[in-house]
Structure 1
């Protein structure tokens, strides 16, 4: 013991002459509290730290050196903190790093099974602390490295996965809290059982499944796309299994973390704002909850009821299913008859592949061989290819199919085993449908073509209308395959609305009056263009082309249109509760909206916007999101309506300019109002205004307060800065509110109305924030929060009840560029 103490004394003295700029620790040098090691290019720093200024706990770790916000990426003694500054780290001559406390007890050790010869510990510019023999430059030859034992952070160049040779499983383990690095509840790592997939667990319970690697990405992570920030790849062989990413350039700083609430997030450092910005999350919505729909259940976030059964299956317990308890899943309508050799397969397209822990795979087989092998084995329940790029590889399931969800074009195909009787039933049903539908469609096409021809000829005779008809018919002919929208005759719609009688009139907006009617037994709402309206062909054609392609439970459904004579009419499904505007700004009606209903409306609008911005075939910018354009169905579920001003964008484009700024004051974002720049973030601003209006029960524009002249945004900001945000809440919900939810909704609303678009979250993040307890960043000053109004402006905030998605508050002006 005396010899060891003498060695430690000599090593300690030697550190007095060591500089902190070295990137290595050698056998004859140690590191004490207050000293640090810096990587060669000064990217990372290593030493002792405390998580907060008030904490007495000391940890040894690695953090970014060049950014202002201390960001720790690895902690050695996360479970055994030091309680003072007496800690010493030294490297033994066998290549083991050891951390001692004041009493020379071992707090942490690298504990490598390898031994070294003249070892050296070096902090690399990747953030990896590596111990290797002096002079050895082979990156795969090392004694120990911190990248084999990650904490909550997945860094570029790190191989996240399993080293079969060394027997190391490189899992992420969340911190207990943001300031406590000890192991939290959540872990995230590869499960090698069956075909490998990444599982997020809370304790032993699986919470999220990445799905298997399909050659492009993990099946359950459609957000993982090729981009300009990082490249990524997957490797599986007899020696190792890992996922890895590399940054495209050295100017970008990015990391992935598993936060204490279980969210898997990619963050990017924004130097200009000195913040970590969320780039994407692995979990997107409720369908990412593992096994939400149970065995043989399929989750589709776009449906009113998220869970459904696969074709050929029914709910195991229908009563539970009706109560939205889907955990017991579905069962087959007809049992398999493997011994009879009559089973076959039904193809499911555009889905996330089921949990692969009970699978076998062969990367060299083709799909035909895969089908034959599955069919021969009575225990095989489904099969699929492994690589979607080539359709090669064979993946076979031998258990109940779990954790399937619909993705559409970003999903894959899986072939599910089905009894012969069910296959015959499906085939017969398809045959009957073909017998009935094909002649009907052909007849309809002939009749429609004749009607359009007659319609076109008649319209040519009317001076001043010819160009309108030509353009509309041209649009219909060219878009028919995409939006397939029924065109109704004028007499049909007139009969449905009792000849547009005043008794059927629901209201009137900027486009024209709206009538209630009944068409083929279905209640409809007809929006009829007024000749006095300034909105014309562009808005009509734009709405038809945009909304006809969209299908989501939080978007209003367009049933058809009428373009006969000089009429332009849009036919929608009827919303019995009219608009949110008629409830939330009405002193009597808003008493019926308790907090639960308001929060449901907020989350529903958010999901509808998420679909428009990310999940629809084209990215749709609404540009006129406001309370009067949110309709409420019979169950008070919100439906976004009025797409007359909407614009679509292709590819990754998210922003555009216009000289013709149209929208509604009080909801328009600053950059759109002033410069004509609209984007998904301008819709986010409008959403934030809506959130605060729903909570407060008053309009942003025309808001009045005895103590100041601020609008609703300024009032909310002022209360938030003073810690009194609950005073924003409408008095009518004070008996039903959930304080944490109200606080969180106000916080999210203020994040959405921040002045600069880059500060605002995008809708995928908003949906995640509304549906989870992930930490929220501090909001910055809202746009237009100091707006002062003249007394007459209060008249612009009329709360007249209306059904329609009108633009009666819309303004148009030219902004010179």
Structure 2
């Protein structure tokens, strides 16, 4: 009797969660919703802007499915979502009654609908599902949701779909600008029936019936952290980037944190700035800025620079010329046909395009290869950065106008005249004030040479120059340099708070011998670097003898505070360590291989690897070697720099030429420390009184990988395949001969599992006195040659 009553009550509960045909949701009543049994998910209308609504499934204020997609499902406040008696789900515009979207399920015997605790909305015939949102995704993949070749995510002009070789992000279903065959696989995939799945812990995996194990496409940085009421989901945003988000109920409604990004450089997303739009980073914004190539163009929408540009005068029937864009390229992702590729010098490249009626634009790489790309498509997507060596050209009607600094349009003549008058008057007034102020200061005190150093305007150096602070400002904002964050070979670092409440780290540089203008030019070069794994340079001070750099503040401090602290403090799990190792490698690779001039760090160590609030690795002090005389820097590194002796490559002591391979050596030492939690130069009974790096290689030779790993790590959380890969890479990086060490680009490929890793030879110190170094390496030369050549 009791069992029968329990079954009846359960049945009533199930029915209570079901939604009956004839039910309707109204955009004018946002409080009305259809909820999941645990109330984590709800289906209701959500307002995204003024009079723009979407019927969406929502978790913690975040839409994870939209009826009709974005922007196709956008409606006004008079719209309604109707579950019709015939089983069809319809989104209609209330003011006109027009159909915006429908499930197309009429006549299929649907008797009810329900929103499950997984976030899946189901239309059912009895208990059998007929139509689900999991099978009809819009822009998001949830844990437990299978994504197959029949599915596609869309947001605006961007889409995400599966290929037999992996996954692809596309613009306008034509340009593939991002592909991935998986992090943990080597070689190319050839899948028969690929499908994607998202796990609750934040792993985004690719499956195939023929694969024995899933290929991990992405792993979010908070992987392994069990947080109650936290949803991790993959989302294709309308800016063309795919991200993994974590949203916790406890962090506030609508909050979400990015824990993985497909395209690390947003300007690399094709069409981000629209047709003829140029994507750039400026000194005031972390996010990219869109602008038109020159005054030959007008923005399509002055209120939204991302919608692109149009020519003021179309080129048909006019006298054409080529507009030059320095340090710019036009994105090319599709395989080029032979007629679109030329070998031509920088002068011939625009001439070839000008003579070709089908050519719209061209790009000369100017990197020594002589490659010239001809762009024949009407849609041109541009990227401009001071780090590029390339020059691009756009065909326009004569005359070619100057390139405005991030301006999108010109005002009428009357407005321009008024602006000119205001500028002239303002400059005159400023000049008078400046002269009077100078004379007053001169009479008040004896002028010193340092106080007469010239101050140069922003126009005196390249775009991308950070904000200039006065020494008094930084004194005030650091409270007299009171709170010291750390101390290194280049000076002390203090915490400060700017007037806009932004927390910063202020480094007082020591031993900087350049003149003021040279220092400012070098700072401009450093500030032109933009990468997810580099600490952003916000500003500087160059006043008299004072040289200071202002960086963004990293909440979690430096890596050494996590690796070498007592056991009662926070311990980095394996997922965080692997992410930090990979992020650091990507940051150094950018400095070495992707900047216009190779930037050597010269001081890679855990103290210079900072962690943001999500434990992303952010390299600091990059480019400081550019601010120092190289010979002086050698002297400082060997004599006075504290805490870095164990990271110096052998060529420093041997007085050999210093190349990027010196950074590779330092990174290898850091990599071993990330794995082991021990200083690389540590000697203790646990290491048989040998230097840790030598002892670790002996354990590696014996196959005792567990002995090398940090004892504070939880064994079940360690990915042993990754651990073996990281340890092998570390031993390759710390080879004594620079030519044996891989490039940082190769290091990234090996860490990601894209490139094979041969067995590394032992450090020379292991065999000193027992055999000549050359004989030890002779059996390894084929592997070394293939590694060093890439």
Shorter-chain TM band: 0.3 to 0.5
Q: Give the TM-score normalised by structure 2.
A: 0.47
Q: Give the TM-score normalised by structure 1.
A: 0.45
